Amino acid sequence: MTIQDSSGSMTMMMMVDNGGMSCLPCTPLEEKQIVHDLNNQSELDLKEGNLFYLISTRWYKSWERYVGGGGGIGDQLDSHHINNGVSGNTVERPGPIDNSDLIENGYGGEGGDVELRKNLEEVQDYVLAPQQVWEKLFHWYKGGPLLPRKMICEGIFSEKRVEVYPLSLKLIDSRDDSQLTLKLSKKASIRELYHKVCALKGIEPEKAQIWDYFGKQKHSGSPLDVSDQTLEDAMLQMDQNILLEVQVDDGCSPSQCGMDSTGNELALVPLEPSRSSLTIAGGPTMSNGHSTSYSAFSSSFVGMDDGYDLQNSAKKVESGGLAGLQNLGNTCFMNSAVQCLVHTPRLAEYFLQDYSDEINTDNPLGMHGELALAFGELLRKLWSAGRTAVAPRAFKGKLARFAPQFSGYNQHDSQELLAFLLDGMHEDLNRVKRKPYIEMKDSDGRPDEEVANECWKNHKTRNDSLIVDTFQGQYKSTLVCPDCSKISITFDPFMYLTLPLPSTVTRTMTVTVFYADGSSLPMPFTVTVMKHGFCKDLLAALSTACCLKSDESLLLAEVYNHQIFKFFENPAEVLNSIKDDEHIVAYRFDRKEAGKKKLEIVNQWPEKSASDYLKGGERKLFGAPLVTYLEEGQLNGADIDLAVSRLLAPLRRTYSSAKSSRGKENGYLSDAIDEPSNSSNQSIESLELEDESSKELSLQLSLTDSRITTCKPLKKDSTIKPVSCIKVLLDWTDEVHESYDPSYLKDLPVVHKTGFTVKKTRQEAISLFSCLDAFLTEEPLGPDDMWYCPRCKEHRQATKKLDLWMLPDILVFHLKRFSYSRYMKNKLDTFVNFPIHNLDLSKYMNKSGESYVYELYAISNHYGGLGGGHYTAYAKLIDENRWYHFDDSHVSPVSEAEIKTSAAYVLFYRRVKAYSTQG
């Protein structure tokens, strides 16, 4: 097959079938290997312009199941299917590639003109296949539609990203008011835009003028220049209007002739003179060569580019801080975060004054001062705009440049944006021009006060800004090594506190306990453990729940495809490795059995059985495996038969079937069956049967390997090789089924069913204090956050305990409502009861003499789910002592009683003492 590689050269890809070119389809394993190799090859040469193709996650997962694992694209791979070797691959080959679920209103045709669904990046309904991988999959499966996308570089650090959604612009032709939608990369140039428009309209480029027509208003005072400036740098937004004007025969455009697009006379509005970048920081502005000064609320800050009338700025005196923010396309998350920040009294005071002297343009960790300047300009416009909504286009343009993760037009997280803004503005306003190198010292048993002061002094030596003065506090972090018990105490700064909801700190886990000695029936137990705990914590909870004796132990295992997929023999293994949809069992045994050979019994319906449970006479596994321990020494088939019979004993039926009616009394087995008979005839019969079946077992058992690829029937005198774990297959023949009830082995419960618990959680109400307590609870670090122990000289999964040490004037709480796992996302709508007044945190502080009482002044809210949620904000005007609801462009008063909802996501508190003069 001939394909084009990323460098543009033509490469011949050889099929692995029979060592050369072949029209025969590859085997599943070969497909998997080819895709894996091509994907690895692509990752070695990632650069701007590389082509990728969108593939439906639904179809891709079906292909993964078919090949027994993924080829390295995305994170959708189920680890159970990687080389688990269980049975043969029975998954059907998927049909043609079907991307219809990625398309708006279904299948839309071929190529880039297909309209994608709006929320694909939020719900992760697609994977990105490099061009070579796509061409290989398309060669095998065909289908479509083709959804090619290019890799672009974004931001000042040139971060590589595939542009899933090109920039969509609505072209309005001034000649007839017709509309046309254009799709170009946001990295395309204005020159490319002109070429595309002129080609579509059939006009000469020199006669075309294209205007930024955001909000159906002309911006910038002149049409877009035909240049190499990108559409992104020109601040063109997703789905906005652009206006095409064509010069008439006399050589002038409609605007030049004093006419609008409909032929009406245009009212000439003087444009705001250009200003240097420092004017938005409060410096003097030059107009016609004269220096002018202005107040913080001067209308000179308000321009037509922001989508509101200059005359409205005069209303500031009566309604300052009540301007909304226009939604530029899923930017409600940004609007919510910005409204909370601009209504922070300390920030408003700062940015409404002259702050130009504190702009740090040389900080390599900052954004050359541009982020702080952009925020300051936006804050001034919001406080100057009266009640007219502001379009934050310039501010969003800066975000796209410095934080590409927020550059698209998908919904993002308001808290993540807040974290970026606070950190970025801190670096842009950092008064420290050159950060000294400071080597941190260990506490080494010194007093906490001394270590805390030293840590804060070192922090301030490198970080000194308005943001640090206002938002940063300090907490005490205590780490304990689980191996050598080394204690390390540090005092770290924080900008906000991310509080877990108590339901996110613990998890309920259902585990089925089996008796390894066959003394009782299996029983499921549901226990509550710490979400970031260890297997030893689960074992401890189970031991209590099932009343484990002091001389007994539990062995945890995961059951997959009716076999033991994994034994959890390491008590220090983290519980995060166990997913909610898995089946976990525990085998209960005597402690003295530990270390002996394990016997695993896998249940199957026999081949060529007339049982209704069988389909087509093929071998079919069912139920949960049984595990026991065997005696030391040489083992034979009879020993295995005896051990299996002992495990099956609790499953013995209390009544017989029609085929075993002997000894049946009123439908129940007679006790005489289990007692020795005095009949000589029966004794002779028994001896004859024993002689005939001297080499047969009472059960049909087959010795197999770990992957069940071979099966060898067991006889009484079969010799068993000495291995640590012996695996046998038990055929549930009609006779076995009549004697034992297999229902106790079926339908193992999963670890956790999310639906029921989520419904229950919605009805519960928790307090902000309980969330704070959960945050300060000791817990083990995650496996991806290991601590380097200076004594062990190794990374250890230490336990961590946080305590509040110093609180800032502005205290921000982030409620951790969103949880993410490999296969699903979830949001908790639990109502958190937070105080509006008199939030007293004194009990969490060891120091006295300061005020630890706070008052709420702003809330960032999130409504709905992850795929289609919406952000708003509540903010209090301190001077008015009144709350308002900010919903993008709409601003309305709201009573204090209405601001407490289950949508509260980020809470902003101000220290009462620090603002006692402001009411």
Which residues does the annotation mark as catalytic? 332, 870
Q: What is the DSSP string of 67-120?
A: HTS--SSSS---GGGSS---S---PPPP-SEE-GGGBTTS---SGGGSPBPTTH
Please answer whether residues 602 and 742 qualify as being in contact, where contact means their C-beta atoms are separated by less than 8 angstroms: no
Q: How far is residue 721's CA from residue 716's CA, in Å, rounded to a whole number?
A: 14
- Pick left, alpha or beta for residue 238 (phi over 0 → left; psi -120 to 50 → alpha; otherwise beta): beta
Q: How far apart are CA 284 and CA 278, in angstroms?
A: 8
How is 675-693 classified by DSSP, letter by letter?
A: SPP--HHHHHHHHHHHHHT
C-alpha distances out from residue 427 to 50, 405, 497, 653, 779, Å: 34, 19, 20, 74, 32
Which residue in this structure is represented by tokens 């205007």? 211
Q: Residue 741: which residues within 8 A CB-CB, separation 6 or more?
A: 651, 652, 653
What letter does residue 847 receive in the DSSP assignment?
Answer: -
DSSP H or E segment with residue 767? strand 765-767
Beta-bridge partners for 171? 180, 242
CA distance 143 to 159: 32
> Is the alpha carbon torsion for 186, 190, 192, 195 positive or negative?
positive
Cβ-based neighbour number of residue 565 at 10 Å? 17
Task: Classify each residue of 823-857 as buried b or exposed e, where b means 16 or more C-beta atoms within 10 Å of its C-beta.
Answer: eeeeebebbbebbbeebebeebeeeeeeebbbbbb
DSSP H/E element including 756: helix 754-762
Tokens of 371: 């982020």
Q: Which amino acid is at 102?
A: L
Three-state SS at 374: helix
∠ CA 318-319-324, rounded to 5°: 160
Length of the chain: 919
**What stretch of H or E contains 44?**
none
Handedness of CA 821, 825, 830, 835 (dihedral sign): positive
Cβ 804 vs Cβ 876: under 8 Å: no
Joined tokens for residue 259: 């006419």
Residues 343, 875 contacting (CB under 8 angstroms): yes
Q: Which of 860, 853, 775, 858 is nearest to 807 (CA)?
A: 853
Phi then psi for 404, rounded to 5 degrees?
Answer: -55, -20
* Secondary structure, 3-state, 467-536: HHHHHCEEEEEEEECCCCCCEEEEEEEECCEEEECHHHHEEEEEEEEEECCCCCCCEEEEEEEECCCEHH
Distance separating alpha carbons of residues 443 and 478, to the nearest angstrom? 10
